[in-house]
Amino acid sequence: MNNVSITNNIIANVPLSAIYLGRLDNNDTSKVSELRSINISQNILTNCAYATHVSSQVSFIDIRGNILGASVEGNLMNDQFETEKTKYSIRLTPKIGKDIRIRNNLLTTKQADTQIKMLIAAGYQDSVKE
């Protein structure tokens, strides 16, 4: 997947990830996606990733695979449920990661102290620039 731009959208009330790109291998039964030149910017995502049976695996924005050049910038992620439904706002799970930029994204919730993590990128922090 090359040169993908997801910009200026309003996405609301999606039970899984509002924006989901790529895939990882499933115990070697499927091919890992190659993602190059990905731009996700200026989107408004409201009440997404609320499916209770998979909440630990979904987020507002989810990018998976070999990420070689991605920018996630200026998105508003808005959880207005009485109880937070998701665990992550942006989730990256690359096999290989390079030139990934995460900047100026905003998470809002009804809760004064949110438990939603802004970014999960464990194991390849050197690839992510904020």
Look up residue 33 and give its two tokens.
């996606």
3-state secondary structure of 23: coil
What's the whole-model pTM score? 0.85
Q: Residue 130: inside a domain, yes or no?
A: no
Is residue 126 classed exposed, middle or buried when 0-12, 13-18 and 19+ CB atoms within 10 A define those classes? exposed
Over the range 28-67, which residues count as b (16 or more CB within 10 Å of their CB) and which as e? eeeebbebeebbbbebebbbbbbeeeeeebbbbbbbbbbb
Q: Residue 63: inside a domain, yes or no?
A: yes
Q: Residue 38: inside a domain, yes or no?
A: yes
Q: Residue 61: inside a domain, yes or no?
A: yes
Q: Residue 54: inside a domain, yes or no?
A: yes
Q: How many domains does the chain have?
A: 1
Q: Residue 21: inside a domain, yes or no?
A: yes
Per-residue pLDDT of the chain (130 residues; tens, 9 = 90+): 899 999 999 999 988 889 999 877 666 555 678 889 999 999 999 998 787 665 456 789 988 888 889 999 999 999 988 888 888 888 887 667 788 888 899 989 888 788 787 776 655 555 666 6
Range of the domain at 60: 2-10+17-125
